[in-house]
Amino acid sequence: MAEVRFTLNGTSKRVAVPPTRRLSEVLREDCGLTGTKVGCDAGDCGACTVLLDGRAVCACLTPAAQAQGVDVLTVEGESPVLTRLRAAFLAHGAAQCGICTPGMLMAATALLLAEPAPDANQVEEALGGVLCRCTGYAKIIAAVVAAGAGPALAPVVRGGVGVRIERLDGAAKVEGRDLFGADLWPEGALMLKAVRSTHAHAAFTFGDMAGWHAARPGVAAIFTAADIPGRNAFGVIPAFADQPALAEGRARFRGEAVALVAFEPGAEPDLSDFPVNWQPLPALTDPTAAMAATDLLHENRPGNQLTQGFVRCGDADAALATSAHVAEGEVDTALVEHAYIEPEAGAAWMEGEVLVIRACTQAPVMDRDDMAALLALPSERVRIIPSAVGGGFGSKLDLSLQPFLGLVTLKTGRPCRMVYSRSESMASTTKRHPARIRARIGCDGDGRITAMEFDGIFNTGAYSSWGPTVANRVPVHATGPYRTPHVRARARAIHTHGPVAGAFRGFGVPQAAVMQETLYDRLADQAGIDRLEFRLLNAYRDGDRTATGQVLDAVGIRDCLMALHPHWRRALSDARAAGGSLLRGVGVASCWYGCGNTSLPNPSTIRIGITRDGRLMLHQGATDIGQGSNTVISQIAAEALGLPVGAFTLIGPDTFLTPDAGKTSASRQTYVTGRAALAAGAGLRAAILRLGNWGSDARLTLDGPFIRANGGAIDLSALPADDMGYVLRAEESYDPPTMPLDAEGQGKPYAVYGYGAQLVELAVDPGLGTVRLLKITAAHDVGRAINPMLIEGQIEGGIAQGIGMALMEDYIPGRTDNLHDYLIPTTGDVPPIESLIIEVPHPEGPYGAKGLGEHVLIPTAPAILNAIRHATGVTLSRLPVLPHRLLAALKSDTR
Amino acid sequence: MAEAGAYERPGGLTSALALLTARPWRMLAGGTDLYPMTGARALVGDILDLTGLEELRGITLSREGLRIGACVRWAEIAGASLPPALAALQQAAREVGGRQIQNAGTIGGNLCNASPAADGVPPLLALGAEVQLASADAARRMALADFVTGPRQTALRPGEMLAAVVIPRAGLMGRSRFVKLGARKYLVISIASVAVRLVEREGRVADLAVAVGACSAVARRIAAVESALRDAPLAEAAARVRDQDVAAALAPLDDIRATAVYRAGAAAELIRRAVADLAVAKPAGDSDG
Average pLDDT over residues A750-767: 98
Under the banding of pLDDT at 50, 70 and 90, the label for residue A14 is very high
Q: Any CB–CB contact under 8 A between A337 and chain B?
A: no
Nearest CA in chain B to A422: B39
Contact by Cβ (8 Å): A620, A651: yes
- For an interface test with B, which of A884, A886, A891 has the most B Cβ atoms less than 10 Å from its Cβ? A884
> Distance, in angstroms, between B183 CA and closest chain A CA?
6
The beta-carbon neighbor of A18 closest among B42, B98, B259 is B42
Q: Which domain holds residue B249?
A: 172-280
Average pLDDT over residues A721-749: 98
The beta-carbon neighbor of B99 closest among A126, A815, A825 is A126
B185 contacts in chain A (CB < 8 Å): 128, 826-829
Task: Please check whether residue B113 lies inside any domain of the structure.
Answer: no
Please indicate whether, in this complex, the C-beta atoms of B49 and A808 are within 8 angstroms of each other: no
- The CATH number assigned to the domain holding B15 equals 3.30.43
- Spatial neighbors of B250 by CB under 8 A, at least 6 apart, are B212, B215, B216, B220, B222, B263, B264, B267
Distance CA A105, CA A87 (A): 11
Q: Which CATH number applies to A190-282+339-428: 3.90.1150.10, 2.120.10.30, 3.30.365.10, 1.10.3720.10?
A: 3.30.365.10
Please indicate whether, in this complex, the C-beta atoms of B189 and A63 are within 8 angstroms of each other: no
Q: Any CB–CB contact under 8 A between A841 and chain B?
A: no
Under the banding of pLDDT at 50, 70 and 90, the label for residue A155 is confident
The beta-carbon neighbor of A266 closest among B1, B104, B269 is B1
A130 contacts in chain B (CB < 8 Å): 98, 100
Task: For residue A769, give the nearest of B247, B211, B269, B255 by alpha carbon.
Answer: B269
What are the tens digits of pLDDT across the range A93-106? Answer: 999 999 999 999 99
- For an interface test with B, which of A50, A58, A335, A818 has the most B Cβ atoms less than 10 Å from its Cβ? A58
A816 contacts in chain B (CB < 8 Å): 256
B181 contacts in chain A (CB < 8 Å): 768, 770, 883
Superfamily of segment(s) A1-168:
Beta-grasp domain (3.10.20.30)
Task: For residue A564, give the nearest of A581, A542, A589 by alpha carbon.
Answer: A589
The beta-carbon neighbor of B188 closest among A58, A267, A823 is A823
Beta carbon pairs, A and B, within 8 Å = 168
Under the banding of pLDDT at 50, 70 and 90, the label for residue A276 is very high
B2 contacts in chain A (CB < 8 Å): 268, 270
- For an interface test with B, which of A37, A57, A815 has the most B Cβ atoms less than 10 Å from its Cβ? A57
DSSP line for A496-528: -SSPPB---SSTTHHHHHHHHHHHHHHHHHHHT
The beta-carbon neighbor of B184 closest among A55, A129, A823 is A823
Q: Running DSSP on this structure, what letter comes out for residue A739?
A: B
- The CATH number assigned to the domain holding B271 equals 3.30.390.50
Under the banding of pLDDT at 50, 70 and 90, the label for residue B243 is very high
Residue A241's CB is within 10 A of a number of other CB atoms, namely: 17
The interface residues of chain A toward chain B in range 541-560, judged by CB-CB distance below 8 A, are none
Task: Please check whether residue B30 lies inside any domain of the structure.
Answer: yes
Q: Any CB–CB contact under 8 A between A49 and chain B?
A: yes
> Distance, in angstroms, between A130 CA and closest chain B CA?
8
Contact by Cβ (8 Å): A333, A511: yes
What are the tens digits of pLDDT across the range A604-646? Answer: 999 999 999 999 999 999 999 999 999 999 999 999 999 999 9
A56 contacts in chain B (CB < 8 Å): 99-100, 103
B40 contacts in chain A (CB < 8 Å): 268
Please indicate whether, in this complex, the C-beta atoms of B2 and A769 are within 8 angstroms of each other: no
Task: Please check whether residue B71 lies inside any domain of the structure.
Answer: no
Under the banding of pLDDT at 50, 70 and 90, the label for residue B4 is low
Show which of B14, B29, B50 is a domain's final residue: B50
What are the tens digits of pLDDT across the range A478-499? Answer: 999 999 999 999 999 999 999 9
Please indicate whether, in this complex, the C-beta atoms of A129 and B39 are within 8 angstroms of each other: no
Contact by Cβ (8 Å): A188, A414: yes
> Distance, in angstroms, between B127 CA and closest chain A CA?
26
Under the banding of pLDDT at 50, 70 and 90, the label for residue B287 is very low
Q: Is the pLDDT of residue A343 over 50?
A: yes
Mean pLDDT of chain A: 97
Q: Is the pLDDT of residue B285 over 70?
A: no
Query: Tell me, which fold does domain A431-597+743-892 have in CATH?
Result: Aldehyde Oxidoreductase; domain 4 (3.30.365)
Task: For residue B47, give the nearest of A435, A20, A275, A183 by alpha carbon.
Answer: A20
Please indicate whether, in this complex, the C-beta atoms of A57 and B100 are within 8 angstroms of each other: yes
pLDDT at B282: 63
The beta-carbon neighbor of A61 closest among B4, B35, B256 is B35
Do the two domains A431-597+743-892 and A604-734 of this chain adopt the same fold? Answer: yes
What are the tens digits of pLDDT across the range A362-400? Answer: 999 999 999 999 999 999 999 999 999 999 999 999 999
pLDDT at A893: 66
Task: Please check whether residue B115 lies inside any domain of the structure.
Answer: no
Task: Please check whether residue B43 lies inside any domain of the structure.
Answer: yes
Average pLDDT over residues A260-288: 97
Q: What percent of chain A has pLDDT over 70?
A: 100
Mean pLDDT of chain B: 94
Contact by Cβ (8 Å): A204, A258: yes
> Distance, in angstroms, between B227 CA and closest chain A CA?
24
Nearest CA in chain B to A55: B103
What are the tens digits of pLDDT across the range A661-699? Answer: 999 999 999 999 999 999 999 999 999 999 999 999 999
Please indicate whether, in this complex, the C-beta atoms of B36 and A44 are within 8 angstroms of each other: yes
Q: Is the pLDDT of residue B2 over 70?
A: no
What are the tens digits of pLDDT across the range B147-176? Answer: 999 999 999 999 999 999 999 999 999 999
Nearest CA in chain A to B183: A808
Average pLDDT over residues A234-263: 98
Nearest CA in chain A to B273: A767
The secondary element (H helix, E strand) that includes residue A278 is: strand A276-280
Average pLDDT over residues A257-269: 96
> Distance, in angstroms, between A823 CA and closest chain B CA?
8
> Distance, in angstroms, between A822 CA and closest chain B CA?
10
Domain ranges of chain A: 1-168, 190-282+339-428, 431-597+743-892, 604-734
Task: Please check whether residue B110 lies inside any domain of the structure.
Answer: no
Q: Is the pLDDT of residue B3 over 60?
A: no
Average pLDDT over residues A17-38: 98
The beta-carbon neighbor of B187 closest among A44, A60, A887 is A44
The helix-helix angle for A138-147 and A80-92 (nearest 10°) equals 140
pLDDT at B194: 98
Contact by Cβ (8 Å): A741, A599: yes
The beta-carbon neighbor of B256 closest among A107, A821, A888 is A821
pLDDT at A153: 82
Distance CA B99, CA B76 (A): 11
Q: Is the pLDDT of residue A154 over 90?
A: no
Q: Is the pLDDT of residue B288 over 50?
A: no
A807 contacts in chain B (CB < 8 Å): 183
pLDDT at A151: 75
Task: Write down the CATH number for the domain with range A604-734.
Answer: 3.30.365.10
Give, in order, the Cα–Cα distances in Å from A58 to each of A448, A871, B72: 56, 40, 17
Contact by Cβ (8 Å): A85, A152: no
Task: Please check whether residue B24 lies inside any domain of the structure.
Answer: yes
Strands A190-196 and A416-419: parallel
Contact by Cβ (8 Å): A633, A669: yes
- Tally of structural domains, chain B: 2
- For an interface test with B, which of A15, A20, A816, A823 has the most B Cβ atoms less than 10 Å from its Cβ? A20
Burial of A692 from C-beta contacts in 10 A (0-12 / 13-18 / 19+)? middle
B42 contacts in chain A (CB < 8 Å): 18-22, 25, 63
Please indicate whether, in this complex, the C-beta atoms of B98 and A46 are within 8 angstroms of each other: yes
The interface residues of chain A toward chain B in range 779-818, judged by CB-CB distance below 8 A, are 807-808, 810, 812, 815-816, 818
Please indicate whether, in this complex, the C-beta atoms of B30 and A61 are within 8 angstroms of each other: yes
Please indicate whether, in this complex, the C-beta atoms of B1 and A767 are within 8 angstroms of each other: no
Please indicate whether, in this complex, the C-beta atoms of B28 and A20 are within 8 angstroms of each other: yes
Give me the phi and psi of A192, to 5 degrees please.
Answer: -125, 145
B28 contacts in chain A (CB < 8 Å): 20, 63
Q: Any CB–CB contact under 8 A between A129 and chain B?
A: yes
Nearest CA in chain B to A106: B100
Q: Any CB–CB contact under 8 A between A42 and chain B?
A: yes
